[in-house]
Each structure stands twice: as structure tokens, then as C-alpha cells.
Structure 1
Amino acid sequence: MRSDSRLSRMLHALIHMELHEGAATSESLAQLLNTNPVVVRRTMAGLRDQGYVRSEKGHGGGWVLARDLGDITLLDIYRALDDPTLFAIRLAVDHPECLVEKAVNSTLSDALHEAEALLLSRFGEVTLADVARDFAQRSKAGE
């Protein structure tokens, strides 16, 4: 299963947008994220639909934050990205009638649901302002 780095990448882009003077173009964000501008536009459109960014047209146009970083949580961006899969672990469904497989799947399912709930709860507690502060501290320390 391929890993999904959209959440990390969009958080990265949004923090850079906060630091960027003026609007950030899809091309500049694509270069930052080592991807195609079309991917950036498609992803940013989803964030725009949720009210986190807006596009500015014309000369000097591009993407800008529509809300303060302190008003946006990791959970907000996760949800705006359509709830990407959190874990690569999947349940086996090779023998659905097998009682051992049922027991294993039940146990794993319970643990995965607990882990997901804990992670999403934590995402809801962390704002993009928290991430930006972490960056500022690292920058100041010369990391």
C-alpha cells in the first residue's frame, strides 16, 4: 500500500504560505512540494471549499490563507483532505467463515479504532499556529 503524505505536505505548504509575503502561486507551491501545479490546484480547491484558503486572481495572484493559523487544526486539514487513511494495516478477508480470522480481525479492529480515535483527538488539539511556533523555535535555535 502506498503511503499518503497529503496531510504532511499540505501542512507544510500552509505554514510556508503564512511566511510568504503575498499570494503563493500553484507553481511555487508545487516546486516546494516537489509535485505538479495541477495537484496543488486540485488540493487547494478542496481547502478553499472548506474556507481555509482563498485564491486571488490577476497579477501577483495565487493562494492565500483565509483564516488565522490559530483557527485551523490538524484535524480540520485532515478532514478537508477527505479523511486520508491513517494506517496501512488492513484486516484479512481471505476466509470470512474462519473463526480464527474473525477473532484476529475483531481484536485488530478494536485496537485500530482506539488508535484512530486517539490520533484524531490529538489532531483536533493542535493548531497550525502550534506548528508555526515549533518552526520558529527550530529556526531560532538554528536546527
Structure 2
Amino acid sequence: MKRDSRLSGVLHALLHMAEQDQPMTSDTLAQCMQTHPVVVRRTMGLLREAGLVASARGPSGGWRISADLAQVTLRQLHDLLGEPAVFAIGNRHEAPDCLVEQAVNAALDDAFTRAEALLLARFAEITLADLAADFARRHARVRHRERD
């Protein structure tokens, strides 16, 4: 079963960008995201159109965050990526003739709809600033352990 990891990859790249004092190239971001630079440019282009990142050409060019991390939510990024399916599971047949399967579909559809609504509501509560703060805490703990 193929998973859509674009949101995770975008979050990873944006957090790396937030830690940098200078723009990051598509090649560097591609290494972070473990993908091809063309995929990075296409994805960052979507974020640029939304005003979340900016780009500059030339030897000192690249991508940088242009939005306030506290204002960017996971839900916003999920929506920008085309609202990929939250769940990879689904009904066996979408319009079955079998009454049993209709009952199964109705129960599953209701559960999927409720679960997705809860997840997307939670995505709306989590900002890039929250993730950056969590990263900073984790990084500080690792550095503290390395000194001991």
C-alpha cells in the first residue's frame, strides 16, 4: 500500500529551512527530503504561490521561508498539497448491490468521515512554530547528553 508522504517531506524541508540563516538550494532540500530536485521545485512552487516561501536565483539563491512559522498550520500545508487522502483504507465497492455491503459501507464511511474531521481539526491546531519548538527541545537534549 503506497503512502502519501508529501506532507511529512514538506514539513521536514520547512523545518530545515527555518534553521538556516541563508536560502537553501533545491539540491540541498532534495537531499533532506530524499527526493529529486525537480520534485522540490514543484512542491516549493506551490508554497511560493501561497506566500509561504520565497526563492532567489543566482549563486547565493535558493528557497527560504517567508511566512511566520506561528501562522502556518499542518492543515494549511495539507490543503496546499491538494488534500491528499488521509486514509489508505476504503470500501471494497463504492456502489454495491448487496445490502450487507451497503450496511458495511455506511458504517465505514461514517467512521472515516468522523476520523478525518478529527485529524484535520488537529492539523489546524499544530503550527510550524510548534514543530520548530519541539525540534529545539530534542536538539537541546541531545547536545546536553553529548556534553555529559
TM-score by length of 2: 0.93
* Corresponding residue of 2:62: 62
1:51 aligns with 2:46: no
**1-structure distance, mates of 2:95, 2:7:** 34
Amino acid at match of 1:120: L
1:78 maps to 78
Shift of 1:85: 1.0
Q: Which runs of 5+ in 2 are unaligned?
A: none
Q: 1:29 to 1:114 in 2, by over 3 A?
A: same
Aligned to 1:89: 89
| 1:1-143 superposed matches below 5 A | 1-93=1-93, 96-142=96-142
Task: Specify every segment of 5 or more residues in structure 1 that has no aligned partner in the other structure, as ranges.
Answer: none
Report the CA distance between 1:2 and its aligned residue. 0.6
Change (3 A) 1:85 1:128: same
Tell which deviates more after alignment, 43-52 or 109-118.
43-52
Q: In structure 2, give the amino acid aligned to 1:116.
A: E
Query: Shift of residue 33 of structure 1?
Result: 1.2
After TM superposition, the score normalised by the length of structure 1 is 0.96
- The letter of the residue matching 2:78 is Y
In the comparison of the two structures, how many residue pairs are matched? 143
- 40 and 93 in structure 1: CA distance in 2 versus 1, 3 angstrom threshold: same
Q: Deviations over 1:17-74 (max 9, x none)?
A: 0101210100000011111000000111111111111111222101111101111001
Q: Aligned AA for 1:25?
A: T
Any runs of at least 4 consecutive aligned residues in structure 1 with deviations exceeding 6 A, and if so which? Answer: none
Cα displacement (A) at 1:95: 6.8
CA distance in 1, matches of 2:84, 2:54: 22
User: RMSD across aligned C-alpha pairs, in angstroms?
Assistant: 1.3
2-structure distance, mates of 1:134, 1:9 = 17
Percent identity of the aligned residues?
51
Counterpart CA distance in 2 for 1:118 and 1:78 is 14
